[in-house]
Amino acid sequence: MKQIDELIAQFQAVAANPAKAVADYKAETGKGAVGMMPLYAPEEIVHAAGYLPIGMWGAQKQSIAKARTYLPPFTCSVMQSVMELQLNGTYDCLDAVVFSTPCDTLQCMSQLWHGKAPIVVFTHPQNRKIAAAVPFLKAEYAHVKAELERILGVTISEEAIENSIKVYNENRQIMREFCDVAAQYPQIFDPAKRHAVIKARWFMEKSKHTALVRELIDAVKAQPVQPWSGKKIILSGIMAEPNELLDLLKEFNFAVVADDLAQESRQYRNDVPAGCDPLEQLAQWWQDFDGCPLATNEAKPRGPMLIQAAEKYQADAVVICMMKFCDPEEFDYPIYHMEFDAAGLRHTVIEMDQESTAFEQIRTRLQAFAELL
Amino acid sequence: MSENVNVEQMSSKDALSYFQAKLDEDARQAKKEGRLVCWSASVAPPEFCVAMGITMVYPETHAAGIGAHKGSMPILDVAENKGYNTDICSYCRVNMGYMELLKQKALTGKTPQVLADSPAADVPLPDLVITCNNICNTLLKWYENLANELHIPLLMIDVPFNHEWPVQKHNKEYIVGEFKHVISQLEEICGRPFDYDKFLEVQKQTQRSVAAWNKIATFLTYKPSPINGFDLFNYMGLIVCARSLDYSEITFNKYVKELEAKLEAKKYAFGDNEKTRVTWEGIAVWIALGHTFKELKGMGSLMTGSAYPGIWDLTYTPGDMESMADAYTHTYINCEIGHRGEVLEQVVSSGKCDGMVVHQNRSCKNMSLLNNAGALYVQKKLDVPFVIFDGDQTDPRNFSEAQFDTRVEALGEMMDAKKGGNQ
């Protein structure tokens, strides 16, 4: 167990201190870091340049002050936090920032950048399943590549991107394996520890993250699987932070057996397909992807996907982590909640606000939900 | 609708009322006769559906009408009870509520009391829907839900955000690819080949309507002005709902003639009381259209600029799909801030405006998040003051008359001070 605790502590240290991860990477490689704005961006292109892609998912309990000057109060919590971090200099260590524009808020945020690093903006096609979507997104990725080459003063070869796709696919595969292992060992992976292992992948070079997760999985699998007396849940939404929320889940004996979070499993739900044109392969990932409200699909597969996951992992319920003022997430709710009711799947909704420092309302809701189950 | 109506003799205002009612009647009649009805986003291209004889209904205009008739609250409640968060656009919530009421009516054969009591125009449920995100991405989620809830086909024209200006070649190629896909969807839905000849005729009609619409806007440049910009919000109903029919062209040409006559006779919108001129940035507050207009009028402030009606300047070359793609994607709020700012600057400058009234619309993140940046851009270029007020297009809970009045009065003082200083 000591080895497991030490490994988990390494992930926790990275997840809690991204600035150190960037500084260490710079010291080690002589190269820098590129910020990846939520939700989905072709990290492989940055990785192929030898730079460290860094997730920009706000900060826990970040007090919002300066951002109020630039954003109306109904901007989602994570973007309020990202704006505050731009303004207070946290992102000044980045050499560039890659911005996608899948919702109105992100679209506007891409035009309101106040950080020092130059930004590269691209747009995902939303008519994703038709043939014309792939060449369009490939052209957008070519723009991202060209801009990064210009800003960073590097050349990014096709071979390097192909190699990065391989590195990322290995990480995606091991993350899916990790989530399954974490579901089997809830005594080891309480919700906050599970989150730390996943969150760390936003700040680590992916082959290193993969190796460390491999080590962790092997160590955990040597332990006997024990019965779980608490309830099993699936988390769904953009993200599940601050950690106090995850600690509340632990307090009420909830085990996270799977997630459908944009910051977590949605990133590695599917692999980049094989092929001979790396930018096209990256574009095809977006075409294959599903189950996120930022990726339009009138079939609305999210509800059925969650119901299927609940069956697979024998989950007792789904906990919806509703990002405050995130209208795409809010749009899915009326549809899947009807589907959950029809399938007899229990759920509760808790409002996510990264700025939050008071959790009594969520505590009451989770306590009541635990009793109900 | 009476067949004895003489449209030729009508004023433009009467023609507007007549055609607006006729559009709803057309939809009801189509449904009755088993012809297809399509609900459409306000700036989605209607040309494809109209070429195939499909009757169009516009939920945003429908919701605005409900709001203007003070009927949105009970319908918003219906949507919120279905799980639609109050954070979601109120046009959408009104429409989702209305759809739910129509569904209940269809399933039970009884008209729900909320619907019976509503001032909502009577329009039928759709057989298909078409959306386009050139004014916001909310329209993707809204129509995704409509298609899913009603189990009907979704036609989608996704126009990628133009983070580079001008519109990039690959953006246009993608949109043309979508046009072709929509054509194949329509062939399947209608069970017959796409009518390319009719399509060309519809494109030409659309261009005549757009040209007449643009002509109206030119009257805002006269000082004093024969036209009050708020009237554009009313006439806008036809450029939204009937730009591919001759209804809009007929009405707009009448209006142009009336405005020419007014100009000739020196009959101005505010008589000789046009003290200042303002740009209105954002969607109208339909729930308080009268109040917002009267407050400005009370100060002698005439609205002679608004980028919003200009969204329907969908000028393109009929027969040229790339040109059509360009027209539908380059709405100013689908473009990077530099171009967006230039469009606003042009509106303020051509309207000879002394200030800007900026609507921080709780329902519209796409407009509201860049309101401040857009207004600052114009202020820097043209040195005109602006105020921002909190409001909503159709949710009365998000608008306060008192706040609006205070902000607008402050603008009046700033404009007066500037004029004084300039003398």
Give the pLDDT score at B421: 63
* Average pLDDT score over residue span A13-42: 97
- Rounded to the nearest 10 degrees, the angle between the axes of helix B229-241 and helix B196-218 is 180
Q: Please tell me whether residues B244 and B344 are part of one structural domain.
A: yes
Q: Which uninterrupted H or E stretch holds B146? A: helix B138-150
Q: What is the pLDDT of residues A291-309, one digit of tens each?
A: 999 999 999 999 999 999 9
Which residue of A lies nearest to B143 if distances are taken between CA atoms?
Answer: A298
Last residue of a domain, one of B145, B164, B199: B199
Last residue of a domain, one of B199, B228, B250: B199
Instruction: Please identify among residues 185-224 of chain B the ones whose CB lies closer than 8 Å to any CB of chain A.
Output: none
Tell me the CATH number at B252: 3.40.50.11900
Q: Please tell me whether residues B164 and B234 are part of one structural domain.
A: no
Residues 6+ away with beta carbon under 8 Å from A101: A107, A110, A121, A122, A123, A124, B161, B163
Is 60 exceeded by the pLDDT of residue B422?
no
pLDDT class of B5 with cuts at 50, 70, 90? confident
| Torsion angle in degrees (nearest 10) through CA of B373, B379, B385, B390 | -10
B82 touching A (Cβ < 8 Å): yes
Q: Please tell me whether residues B185 and B264 are part of one structural domain.
A: no
pTM, whole model, 2 decimals? Answer: 0.97
The whole-angstrom separation of Cα B203 and Cα B324 is: 9
What are the φ/ψ torsions at residue B174 (nearest 5 degrees)?
-65, -45
Q: Which domain holds residue B31?
A: 11-199
B361 touching A (Cβ < 8 Å): no
Tell me the CATH number at B134: 3.40.50.11890
Instruction: Please identify among residues 86-145 of chain B the ones whose CB lies closer than 8 Å to any CB of chain A.
Output: 87-89, 96, 133, 136-138, 140-145
Give the pLDDT score at B203: 98
Preceding peptide of A227 cis, ω within 30°: no
Phi-psi region of B320 (alpha: psi -120 to 50; beta: other; left: phi over 0): beta
pLDDT class of A357 with cuts at 50, 70, 90? confident
* Residue B387 covered by a domain: yes
Is 90 exceeded by the pLDDT of residue A343?
yes
- Give me the interface pTM, i.e. the ipTM: 0.97
Q: Which of B87, B136, B148 sits opposite A325 (nearest CB)?
A: B87
Beta-carbon separation of A333 and B89 below 8 A: no
Which residue of A lies nearest to B144 if distances are taken between CA atoms?
Answer: A298
* Residue B208 covered by a domain: no
Q: Which of A133, A328, A334 sits opposite B84 (nearest CB)?
A: A334
Q: Please tell me whether residues B248 and B384 are part of one structural domain.
A: yes
* Residue B43 covered by a domain: yes
By the 10 Å C-beta count (0-12 exposed, 13-18 middle, 19+ buried), B86 is classed as middle
Whose tokens are 């009065």? That residue is B409
* Average pLDDT score over residue span A278-292: 98
Q: Please tell me whether residues B30 and B172 are part of one structural domain.
A: yes
B80 touching A (Cβ < 8 Å): no
Closest CA to B398 of B143, B67, B133: B67
Q: Please tell me whether residues B142 and B195 are part of one structural domain.
A: yes
The whole-angstrom separation of Cα B352 and Cα B225 is: 10
The whole-angstrom separation of Cα A322 and Cα A352 is: 5
Structure tokens at A359: 């959790």
* Residue B207 covered by a domain: no
The whole-angstrom separation of Cα A88 and Cα A91 is: 8
Q: What is the pLDDT of residues B198-219, one digit of tens each?
A: 999 999 999 999 999 999 999 9
Give the pLDDT score at B3: 60
Q: Please tell me whether residues B317 and B192 are part of one structural domain.
A: no
Beta-carbon separation of B373 and A111 below 8 A: yes
Q: What is the pLDDT of residues A50-89, one digit of tens each?
A: 999 999 999 987 788 999 999 999 999 999 999 999 999 9
* Average pLDDT score over residue span A336-358: 93
Q: Which of A75, A131, A139 sits opposite B369 (nearest CB)?
A: A75
**In percent, how much of chain B has pLDDT > 90?**
97
Give the pLDDT score at A62: 78
- Is residue B138 within 8 Å of residue A104, measured between CB atoms? yes
Q: Please tell me whether residues B187 and B317 are part of one structural domain.
A: no
- Rounded to the nearest 10 degrees, the angle between the axes of helix B246-264 and helix B12-32 is 170
3-class DSSP assignment, residue B4: coil
* Residue B211 covered by a domain: no
Q: What is the pLDDT of residues A108-142, one digit of tens each?
A: 999 999 999 999 999 999 999 999 999 999 999 99
* Residue B209 covered by a domain: no
Q: Please tell me whether residues B104 and B233 are part of one structural domain.
A: no
Q: B136: which chain A residues are within 8 Å (Cβ-Cβ)?
A: 104
* Average pLDDT score over residue span B67-72: 97
* Average pLDDT score over residue span A6-23: 97
The whole-angstrom separation of Cα B155 and Cα B140 is: 10
> What is the pLDDT of chain A when averaged over all its residues?
96
* Residue B28 covered by a domain: yes
Residue B393 CB neighbour total at 10 angstroms:
27
Q: A135: which chain B residues are within 8 Å (Cβ-Cβ)?
A: 170, 173-174
A75 touching B (Cβ < 8 Å): yes
Q: Please tell me whether residues B361 and B306 are part of one structural domain.
A: yes
* Residue B4 covered by a domain: no
Q: Please tell me whether residues B278 and B396 are part of one structural domain.
A: yes
- What domain count does chain B have? 2
What are the φ/ψ torsions at residue A151 (nearest 5 degrees)?
-70, -45
Distances (CA, A) of B260 to A40, A268, B222, B224, B353: 53, 63, 11, 13, 21
Last residue of a domain, one of B148, B165, B199: B199
Counting one residue from chain A and one from chain B, the pairs whose CB atoms sit within 8 A come to 138
Alpha-helical regions (H) of chain A: 2-16, 18-29, 43-48, 77-87, 104-109, 133-152, 158-184, 191-199, 206-221, 243-251, 265-268, 278-288, 302-312, 327-343, 360-372
Which residue of A lies nearest to B366 if distances are taken between CA atoms?
Answer: A104
Give the pLDDT score at B423: 43
Beta-carbon separation of A333 and B85 below 8 A: yes
Q: Please tell me whether residues B316 and B256 are part of one structural domain.
A: yes
* Average pLDDT score over residue span B100-112: 97
Give the pLDDT score at B234: 93
**In percent, how much of chain A has pLDDT > 90?**
95
Q: What is the pLDDT of residues B246-280, one digit of tens each?
A: 999 999 999 999 999 999 999 999 999 999 999 99
Whose tokens are 């690959």? That residue is B170
CB-based burial, A102-127: b 16+ in 10 Å, e otherwise: bbbbbbbbbbbbebebebbbbbbbbb
